[in-house]
Chain A
Amino acid sequence: MSHRPVLLSAMLDGELSEAESAWVAAHLEGCGECRSELEDLAAARAAVRSLPLLDVPDGIVPADGVVTSLWPRRVAVAVVSVAAAAAVGIGALGVLGMASDAVTTIDVGEAEAILAATGSMGVVSDGSAAAEYLEDNVTARYRARQTMACRDETTFVDNTVDVTRLGNVTVMSDPLAHWTVLAGGSVSTGPSEGPIETVTVTGPAPRMGAYSVTGETRDEFRGRATDIVTLGRDGVDRANLWIDVETSAIVHRELLTAEGTVACVAELVEFEPIEDRIQASMPFDIRAVVTESVYSPVATDLPNTLAGLELVAAYPIDGGEVGVFGDGLFAFAVVRVDGAHPQAGLSETSPAVVWESAGESWAVVGQLPQDLLEWVIGDLPPAEQPSPFVDGWRILFG
């Protein structure tokens, strides 16, 4: 007689269909081995369930309307984000004005020099309680510029960086080396010192959760304390990250093949104070520069989170908007265009999935694993179709 032990646990949890229940009941009558296993499983289940439900420590869950948050609410709604996202640490700059609806932008050319630092940075503009709080949390006042040099000498399938032009915005993304750059206005290239369109990296796109931390040491890098973290995928590749202890910025990283060949090297250069530079472009006094995680709910119709990945930058384009989402491993752009076809602005080199309707069109741009892509699209409005991915979305390129 065949055993189906996996059904025994499900039976304990009342998770069997009627047919399965009947099968298990009949089987148990004649099978001492499975009866014994059922007892073991029930004991294990009871043990875990005997663990007491702990109370939440004080100060986390709000009592009677007291909001517990890193950010006072009136600050959190007053934001601008002009940003670049550098993945494994998405960088985003939020400039916080205290007038709740004030939206202040800074020149993108300025932003690109500032924003390559990983980790969110924000500037608080006046002497409110929020600013005082944040001043206690000042951890970084650095300007950072990123340079990148990749060598094409691996055995992996070529994977060229995506360059997507959307109106006056250029979205450049490289899901393997973990960075995305938004540039617009007079800025035509990202923060790379070289011609970014020619950067080539190799290897498959990483998958959510596929990397695991396999090593960590602390050492000096350019005179600063850094944690060196190794992320690895068994037999596939690995990445070494040098993470600045003070700022959490990834100051140097290298991607290696399974054979140990360097596939890509990227590093952050030129640490220097940025406060004066930021101040020069701001019509108010800056009180603090912070690297706390700053959420920037820009005036946008784009969702704030997709599949658990957060909106790190939003940018207006002609007749629509584009948002960059990321979680540190993945970065991709979502485009919304009023009553138009987003592919008009997409480059054919960019993998894109589009959804079209009479009122507006959406596109997801970037190389995402299929399962994550489906998840992202499943989260996206508008879902006029019962199953947007199957019925309403189609793959345009890639």
Chain B
Amino acid sequence: MNDPSIPTWEDVARTHGRKIYNYAYRLTGNPHDAKDLVQEVLLRVRRGLDSYTPGSFDGWLWRITRNAFLDDVRRRNRRPTSPLPDDVDRMPNASSPAADDVLASIRLGDDIQKALLDLPDDFREAIVMCDIVGMSYDEIAQAIDAPIGTVRSRIHRGRKLLKERLG
């Protein structure tokens, strides 16, 4: 763990927490699930860092994130979910200015977010990784364990569907 090329857990949390949160939020449209996912990923990262060997850290991290998300989907599917928060009072910290900004931005992006949520899961995942997280096709292929041709195809087909839905 003294290897300087291996980040500490706290480094990972600060550096990647926001990306993981945005990834989860855009996939689920739900801030509570997104928050849960970030916590779960950070927990798994902390468990796994001891055994992590220097290599593609991002690839490793996003594989963990994706697995955590899929596990979460399995669990969440046992309960009814709402795709978007319909009651802003239930949002955490709804009274703070930062939270107001967040709410405003969520409302602005509502249509786009809804269109994203309408996409098939595979397409949504690829688009979120590309356009929200900013991953390269190569990184996405590694994270979802699929050939790069699949990544190209999913992003392309996802964008076509998005355009149809957004008009």
Same assembly: yes
Contact B78 A13 (CB under 8 A): no
Chain B, residue nearest A383 (CB): B53
| A44 with B47, Cβ < 8 A, contacts A49-B131, A61-B13, A62-B14 known | no
Assess whether A144 is interfacial by the CB under 8 Å rule: no
What 0/1 readout, one digit per residue, does chain A (1-21) give for beta carbons within 8 Å of chain B? 000011111100101000000
Assess whether A40 is interfacial by the CB under 8 Å rule: yes
Contact A8 B42 (CB under 8 A): no
Neighbouring B residues of A67 by C-beta, 8 Å: 9-10
Neighbouring A residues of B64 by C-beta, 8 Å: 305, 308
Neighbouring A residues of B14 by C-beta, 8 Å: 61-62
Assess whether A283 is interfacial by the CB under 8 Å rule: no
Neighbouring A residues of B113 by C-beta, 8 Å: 51
Instruction: From A45, A50, A53, A229, give the contact of B22 (CB < 8 A).
Output: A53
Instruction: From B35, B43, B50, give the contact of A57 (CB < 8 A).
Output: B35
Q: A41-B160, A44-B166, A61-B38 are known; give 11 further A-B pairs, CB within 8 A.
A: A5-B156, A6-B156, A44-B163, A48-B112, A56-B35, A57-B35, A61-B14, A61-B18, A212-B77, A303-B51, A305-B44
Contact B21 A56 (CB under 8 A): yes
Contact B112 A6 (CB under 8 A): no
Instruction: Give, as a whole number of angstroms, the nearest-CB distance from A365 to chain B.
Output: 19
The 14 listed contacts between A and B (C-beta, < 8 Å) are A9-B152, A9-B156, A13-B137, A41-B160, A43-B166, A47-B166, A49-B131, A54-B106, A60-B21, A62-B13, A67-B9, A295-B43, A305-B47, A371-B145
A55-69 at interface with B (beta carbon < 8 Å)? 55-58, 60-62, 65, 67-69
Neighbouring A residues of B102 by C-beta, 8 Å: 54-55
B87-128 at interface with A (beta carbon < 8 Å)? 92-93, 98, 102, 105-106, 108-109, 112-113, 115-116, 127-128
Interface size class of B (residues with CB under 8 A): 35 or more
| A243 with B78, Cβ < 8 A, contacts A70-B43, A305-B64 known | yes
Assess whether B83 is interfacial by the CB under 8 Å rule: no
| A304 with B145, Cβ < 8 A, contacts A44-B159, A54-B105 known | no
Neighbouring B residues of A375 by C-beta, 8 Å: 145
Bound-complex Cα distance A274 to B9 (A) = 36
A23-42 at interface with B (beta carbon < 8 Å)? 37, 40-41
A261-310 at interface with B (beta carbon < 8 Å)? 293, 295, 297, 303-305, 307-310
Contact A308 B137 (CB under 8 A): no
Bound-complex Cα distance A304 to B46 (A) = 10
Contact A41 B98 (CB under 8 A): no
Contact B137 A10 (CB under 8 A): yes
Assess whether A328 is interfacial by the CB under 8 Å rule: yes
Bound-complex Cα distance A387 to B151 (A) = 24
Contact A308 B51 (CB under 8 A): no
Q: Is the interface of A mostly helix, strand, loop or mixed?
A: loop
Assess whether B162 is interfacial by the CB under 8 Å rule: yes
Instruction: From A50, A304, A309, give the contact of B50 (CB < 8 A).
Output: A304
Bound-complex Cα distance A49 to B134 (A) = 9
Contact A50 B112 (CB under 8 A): yes
Instruction: From A9, A47, A308, give the contact of B155 (CB < 8 A).
Output: A9
Contact B74 A308 (CB under 8 A): no
Assess whether A52 is interfacial by the CB under 8 Å rule: yes
| A55 with B98, Cβ < 8 A, contacts A44-B159, A60-B39 known | yes
Bound-complex Cα distance A308 to B144 (A) = 12
Assess whether A99 is interfacial by the CB under 8 Å rule: no
Contact A8 B47 (CB under 8 A): no
Instruction: From B18, B74, B106, B159, give the contact of A41 (CB < 8 A).
Output: B159
A204-227 at interface with B (beta carbon < 8 Å)? 209, 212-213, 216, 227
Bound-complex Cα distance A243 to B77 (A) = 13
Instruction: From A48, A229, A307, A308, give the contact of B116 (CB < 8 A).
Output: A48
Bound-complex Cα distance A37 to B22 (A) = 28
Chain A, residue nearest B19 (CB): A53
